[in-house]
Structure 1
Amino acid sequence: MSRLLILMMILPLMAWAQDSTQMSWLDNRFRVDPTVEQVSFMVKRDKESSSVVLVRPDGTKYYSWRHPENVSWYEEKGVDIISIEKPMPGPWQAVGRVTPKNQVDVLSNLKLEIDDLPSRLYQSETLKFTARLLQDDQLLTLRDFLNRVKLQVEFLEYVENPDALPEKERPGPIILGEFTDDGIGFDEYPGDGIFTVALPIQIQPGKYRVRVTSRNGIFLRTFEQQVLVYPPPLTADFIQGRDQQEPHQLVVTPEMGAVVSGSIAAHLEQIDPEGKVTISQGHTVGEQEVLKLTVPNMGEPGQYTWSGWLYATDLINNRELIFGLPKKHFAVQAELKLDRNLEDFRLQQEKKAREEEEKRLAAEKAAARAKAIKLIIGGNLLLIVLVVAGGFGWRKWKTKKVIAKALDEAGEMPDEAEADPKAS
């Protein structure tokens, strides 16, 4: 009998305990007001459990793999985020391993506000673009939810009636940036419900549709806007020094009538082969239009990197512009020093050649002068010899003539004696 009494006492307790456990697993109910147009359920569950089942007030069940188009379902380990557009009013229920340590957060009337992009954008500019997540017109600051919001900006080439085209012929999206709320980069404060993206307009000029979408499907809504992208109003040319002593130069030239005079500024970072960063900055003043920024020449051989930012004010709508200068490289070759030595050697060789040529010309002149002197002396000697020889010959000839004359006279005398007998 005592055993029966004890059993009768324990059975209700066991039944209560079972009902209590069952209720903690099932009693995740929440009511949706008829005025709510959009609701998000953030369900934290056991990490090893599967996604919950969401039960509508009329008993219809939604699953992560099966739900209507007005429902978006983001699932990760230990968390389900379910957003519903125009939910049915009444009691909803999440069925799953939602333990007492976790909870279901109901976020009603969530609204995503997106800044309007300027209708005129410039190729290569970087634009600060923000979005705000509001609940009942107040910034949402639920960190667990914000950390999972993934918003991205897509540009699509503009065509008339894209839905009328075959899917293969429709322009594909160009993803240019993703919003963050982490207090890094252009974002001002982490977790404040304001999402920011440093949007780089790295696309060809033209007309585009811009869409802001939820990359992980937390939001169903897509925001769309049309914009025009124009060629950049500034050109930047980096001119490397011709030698190790001449500084480099960054020349920034605006398109005529594109930016406000005197509004150009530049920030340039140069990284040497050892990783040391040298910063150069400058800006135009007054009516000055072209910016010429002097960049130090470090002079050491090796690979250098430079990058930076340009700033200007758009003349058409007085909008502040930011342009990123992507990393570029230039090299200072070790041969530059050798080239200088070779140049010095070449100059020395040219000087030596000139000196040798001058010596050769001087020697030729001296040799010619000596030869001329020798020719003069030789001519004079020859003339003397000829004169002497001529005189000697003349004398000899004259002597012979005298002797011959004398002989002739001597030969005529006997003949005359024979002819004259008296003479004998």
Structure 2
Amino acid sequence: MSLARFLIVLWVCLVSAALPLNAQQQTEQNQPMQLMDGPMDNMLPIEGQRFRIDADIEEITLLFFREPNSQPLILIKPDGSKWYDSDYPLERVTWYTDPNFDMIKIVDPEPGPWQVAGRVDKQNKAIIVSEVRFEAEPLPKQLFQNERLKVEGTLYNGTTPVSTARFRETVVLDVLFVSSNNPDFDNFGADPTRVAEFSDNGQGHDEQAGDGVFTGRFALDVVPGEYLPTYQLETPLYERSFEDEAVVVEHQPVTIDFQLAEERGADNGIEVSLDEKLVNPSSVAINGSVSYPNGEERRFSVTKIDSFPHVIPLDNLAYGKHLVELTVFATSNQGREFELQFNNLSFISVEPVAEPTAEELAQQARQEAVRKAELERQQREAEEQQLIVNLIIVAAVNVVLIAGAISFVWWRRRSKRLNNDPATAQKNAEKAEQKAQKKAQKKAAKSE
């Protein structure tokens, strides 16, 4: 009997010890996810497709990553009703869907357990998007026109650096240089200029993809002056702008000109001048390339320059348009290393006119003598022809004048003879009398 009681007591103890453990395991398995717990408040593990929203949340933005090219998710509210990407309350919800993610902003969300239905990416975590901001390295106070500058920065979601690679894919980071409208500078009233885009994709000047460090390559092809660097952050649901302290972009301290060959076979040249008040002359190095009119391309480097202006010779391979690109590396007198980029430079070389030889000069002299003799002959013939024409005209005029004079004398003599004839005089008197009678009749008719 004692043995039986002992066995019963032992069994009860074992069951009593196991029950809390099983209950704890069951509770952990069924426990919904808490959005606001833990040091990583903006990370939301998707386990069991459920999460909880606390009662004091006034607005929340959720970012759910899906398997590539899957259908948009379905949100299931605590009361069991569903929201779809095409059916949700517009006055409270903003929903952006992409082939790979859903970003949903909810105003006054219902507290309690929520569920999400869909092909959620198991390798990533859903994120609560709070105050997304970007912090970049401070820019130098002195910059140069046409400078290329590498700048790194970190993207934050709230106070936590963003470590989820796919979240960074949803953000666009641009940099604008906005004129401070200081009338003391040349860029007063200039339009904003986009000078860089930040990325964390391991391409270009970004060293490693997904390491959380965003890299931007500034291209300061702007008018010299004072600018306010403005970082523009854009997500599918909202935009943010972060303004940095004012910087001054100086005139480029390096100028480029071209020297064209004046003789056949001579080289062309690139003339590089330097403002030694801004730049240490001994620090200058140059890389460049030339595209020739015949399609050939050549690269060159200059690492030692004794004095400025310095001329870089270019082989004269063909005549026509040459395209030139230059990169200048130097150190300012303030000790800062910088890089200048010169793109779209060009010049046109024209084939020089060759000097004629002695034989060619003699031939040209003979040709010139023949040409002059021919011109003189043609001129003499023209003068002779003109003289003949003038003589003909004078003779014709004289003939006309003489004929006219003879006709006039004949007419006068004939008129005198007719006037002295009695019969002719009688006829003339009768005609005069008839005219007088007609005039008298007309006057009488008018008076009646």
Tell me if TM exceeds 0.5.
yes
Matched, 1:33 2:45: no
Residue 356 of structure 2: which of 338, 344, 353 is its match?
A: 344
Contact 2:96 2:236 in 1 (8 A): yes
Residue 80 of structure 1: which of 89, 102, 106 is its match?
A: 102
Matched, 1:310 2:328: yes
Which residue number in structure 2 is paired with residue 278 of structure 1? 298
Aligned with 2:361: secondary structure? Answer: helix
Given the superposition, is the C-alpha separation of residues 56 and 332 from structure 1 closer, same or farther in structure 2, using an over 3 Å criterion?
Answer: farther
* Identity score, percent: 21
Which residue number in structure 2 is paired with residue 178 of structure 1? 197
Residue 346 of structure 2: which of 329, 340, 354 is its match?
A: 329
Matched, 1:124 2:142: no
Report the Cα offset of residue 197 of structure 1. 1.7
Aligned with 1:191: secondary structure? Answer: coil
Whole-Å separation in 2 of the counterparts to 1:92 and 1:245 = 84
Letter in 2 for 1:181: D
Aligned with 1:155: secondary structure? Answer: strand
Matched, 1:297 2:315: yes
Aligned with 2:138: secondary structure? Answer: coil
Report the Cα offset of residue 190 of structure 1. 2.5
Whole-Å separation in 2 of the counterparts to 1:221 and 1:92 = 31
Whole-Å separation in 2 of the counterparts to 1:199 and 1:100 = 35
Residue 199 of structure 1: which of 205, 218, 224 is its match?
A: 218
Whole-Å separation in 2 of the counterparts to 1:324 and 1:54 = 55
**1:14-49 deviation per Cα after TM superposition (whole angstroms, max 9, x unaligned):** xxxxxxxxxxxxx99552238667666333268464
Contact 2:174 2:198 in 1 (8 A): yes
Whole-Å separation in 1 of the counterparts to 2:304 and 2:91 = 59
Give the unaligned 5+ runs of structure 2.
1-30, 44-61, 183-188, 369-448
Aligned with 1:290: secondary structure? Answer: coil
Matched, 1:236 2:256: yes
**1:65-87 deviation per Cα after TM superposition (whole angstroms, max 9, x unaligned):** 98899x99764223124689xx9
Report the Cα offset of residue 270 of structure 1. 0.9
Whole-Å separation in 2 of the counterparts to 1:119 and 1:54 = 53
Contact 2:291 2:322 in 1 (8 A): yes
Given the superposition, is the C-alpha separation of residues 355 and 173 from structure 1 closer, same or farther in structure 2, using an over 3 Å criterion?
Answer: closer
Report the Cα offset of residue 237 of structure 1. 1.4
* Larger Rg over CA atoms: 1
Letter in 2 for 1:234: V
Where do residues 263-274 of structure 1 align in structure 2 (5 Å cutoff)? 263-274=283-294
Whole-Å separation in 1 of the counterparts to 2:162 and 2:38 = 21
Where do residues 101-250 of structure 1 align in structure 2 (5 Å cutoff)? 104-106=125-127, 112-133=134-155, 140-159=162-181, 173-217=192-236, 221-225=240-244, 226-250=246-270
Question: TM-score by structure 1 length?
Answer: 0.58
**1:361-404 deviation per Cα after TM superposition (whole angstroms, max 9, x unaligned):** xxxxxxxxxxxxxxxxxxxxxxxxxxxxxxxxxxxxxxxxxxxx
Contact 2:171 2:233 in 1 (8 A): yes
Question: TM-score by structure 2 length?
Answer: 0.56
Whole-Å separation in 2 of the counterparts to 1:149 and 1:184 = 17
Contact 2:36 2:42 in 1 (8 A): no
Aligned with 2:281: secondary structure? Answer: coil
**1:292-338 deviation per Cα after TM superposition (whole angstroms, max 9, x unaligned):** 242332422444321120111111x31111111112233345xx27x
Letter in 1 for 2:356: D
RMSD value, Cα: 4.5
Whole-Å separation in 2 of the counterparts to 1:206 and 1:72 = 41
Which residue number in structure 2 is paired with residue 384 of structure 1? none
Contact 1:284 1:291 in 2 (8 A): no
Letter in 1 for 2:140: P
Report the Cα offset of residue 258 of structure 1. 0.7
Whole-Å separation in 2 of the counterparts to 1:228 and 1:72 = 41
Whole-Å separation in 2 of the counterparts to 1:182 and 1:113 = 18
Given the superposition, is the C-alpha separation of residues 72 and 240 from structure 1 closer, same or farther in structure 2, using an over 3 Å criterion?
Answer: farther
Report the Cα offset of residue 128 of structure 1. 0.9
Which residue number in structure 1 is paired with residue 26 of structure 2? none
Where do residues 33-52 of structure 1 align in structure 2 (5 Å cutoff)? 33=37, 41-44=63-66, 47=69, 49-50=71-72
Letter in 2 for 1:326: N
Whole-Å separation in 2 of the counterparts to 1:56 and 1:240 = 79
Given the superposition, is the C-alpha separation of residues 79 and 298 from structure 1 closer, same or farther in structure 2, using an over 3 Å criterion?
Answer: same
Which residue number in structure 1 is paired with residue 274 of structure 2? 254
Letter in 1 for 2:127: V
Contact 2:258 2:271 in 1 (8 A): yes
Letter in 2 for 1:132: T
Letter in 2 for 1:344: P
Report the Cα offset of residue 138 of structure 1. 8.1
Given the superposition, is the C-alpha separation of residues 271 and 263 from structure 1 closer, same or farther in structure 2, using an over 3 Å criterion?
Answer: same
Letter in 2 for 1:237: D
Aligned with 1:262: secondary structure? Answer: helix
Give the unaligned 5+ runs of structure 1.
1-26, 161-169, 358-424
Report the Cα offset of residue 185 of structure 1. 2.6
Report the Cα offset of residue 125 of structure 1. 0.9
Contact 1:311 1:323 in 2 (8 A): yes
